[in-house]
Amino acid sequence: MEGKHTQVLDCTIRDGGLINKHHFDHRFVREVYKAVSASGVDYIELGYRNSNKMFSPEEYGTWKFTSDEDIKKIIKGVKSTIKIAVMTDIGRVNMDDFKPAKESPVSMIRTATYVKDIDKAVYMSNHFNDLGYETAINIMAISRDSAGDELDEGLKEIEEDSRVKIVNIVDSFGHLQPRAVISLMERFKTQLKSKLVGFHAHNHLQLGFGNTIEAINHGADSVDGTVYGIGRAAGNCPLELLIGHLKHRRFEISPVLELISKEFIQLRREIEWGYIIPYAITGMLNEHPRTAMALRETKDKDNYREFYEKISSGYMD
């Protein structure tokens, strides 16, 4: 069966929180946790664990700093076998904020890195391994950083010097075409002989789901999705499509569909995500979507031609 052994991680709260500075209330997060748990997904990523000395708690919400105490409030009384993950950013985390895994509800820590900082990600992941956690490294902006020898050198360092469980290919700018996904999967699988390889897609060119399926078809051990595709800018591979495609008996789509009806239709009216032309433009041009996100906050948010001509010529105010 296609993808029979592929693990699925839901990162609704973590990636979705990039839209609203992680200001989800506990009731909403608990509803997501209950529905995703009931769906049979393997992991749920409940935000970042960044340092409150580097980000203001007055500006950012709970799930920018995800504490064990807040996680315990969310999961209390819910029968679930799902494992909980949190993400860390290099240079934005206090390593002392992590207790040993046996004292924490968190099972996995994922460290986000660019290719140039893979050595730092290896160091952090090994530290988290020493504390008893499963670990993953997410290599971001892969569409910008896959050329040349630096990526191969980084993968070699991960293979030889780290005890990380999973290495995730992250299409941060939503730029990858299916052929590039296949090439990257083959490259990672060849060089990371003792690691699992995962894939995290963004949907700027409406390829988030399709690229994820290509990754599965070419050996992805783990893939990410979000409920209703929520996530920064154009969002991510929709979890409901992923579950519907992976026709395992252990997956159940109904709880996610009910969650979308009850929580996400209204949320989509309040905050914006999904395929919109400015995000498509940044995806085509392999640019970070921050310029498109800024445009959507202005009165000229639908002036697509001017935006395209400015960004494609390298000129932005």
| Domain boundaries along the sequence of the chain | 7-270, 277-312
Average pLDDT over residues 52-63: 94
State yes or no: pLDDT of 4 exceeds 70: no
pTM: 0.96
State yes or no: pLDDT of 223 exceeds 90: yes
Per-residue pLDDT band for 59 (boundaries 50, 70, 90) equals very high
| Better-scored residue on pLDDT, 202 or 5 | 202
Q: What is the pLDDT of residue 3?
A: 58
State yes or no: pLDDT of 174 exceeds 70: yes
Q: DSSP readout, 270-299? A: HS--S--HHHHHHHHTT--THHHHHHTTST
Cα distance between residue 83 and residue 208, in whole Å:
24
pLDDT digits (tens, 9 = 90+) for 281-312: 999 999 999 999 999 999 999 999 999 999 99
The pLDDT > 90 percentage for the chain reads 93
Do 47 and 87 contact (CB within 8 A), yes or no?
Answer: yes
Per-residue pLDDT band for 247 (boundaries 50, 70, 90) equals confident
- Long-range CB pairs of 278-282 (<8 Å, 24+ gap) are 278/304, 278/307, 279/174, 279/204, 279/233, 279/234, 280/204, 280/205, 280/206, 280/234, 281/307, 281/308, 281/311, 281/312, 282/173, 282/174, 282/204, 282/233, 282/311
State yes or no: pLDDT of 8 exceeds 90: yes
Q: Enumerate the β-bridge partners of residue 170.
A: 200
Q: What is the pLDDT of residue 148?
A: 78
Q: What is the pLDDT of residue 317?
A: 52
Residue 123: CB atoms within 10 Å: 15
What mean pLDDT, rounded, does the chain reach? 95
pLDDT digits (tens, 9 = 90+) for 60-103: 999 999 999 999 999 999 999 999 999 999 999 999 999 999 99
Of 28-37, 101-110, 146-155, the poorest mean pLDDT is in 146-155
Give, as one character, the DSSP assignment of residue 268: H
Cα distance between residue 106 and residue 85, in whole Å:
6
Cα distance between residue 33 and residue 23, in whole Å:
16
pLDDT digits (tens, 9 = 90+) for 136-150: 999 999 999 888 799
Q: Which CATH number fits domain 7-270: 3.20.20.70, 3.30.70.330, 3.40.1050.10, 1.10.3980.10?
A: 3.20.20.70
Cα distance between residue 46 and residue 207, in whole Å:
25
Cα distance between residue 171 and residue 236, in whole Å:
10
| Better-scored residue on pLDDT, 145 or 21 | 21
Token pair 């860390």: residue: 88
Q: What is the pLDDT of residue 1?
A: 44
Cα distance between residue 313 and residue 187, in whole Å:
33
Q: Enumerate the β-bridge partners of residue 226.
A: 238
Q: What is the pLDDT of residue 315?
A: 64
Per-residue pLDDT band for 158 (boundaries 50, 70, 90) equals very high
Q: Enumerate the β-bridge partners of residue 112.
A: 89, 138
Do 133 and 109 contact (CB within 8 A), yes or no?
Answer: yes
Q: Which amino acid is at 10?
A: D
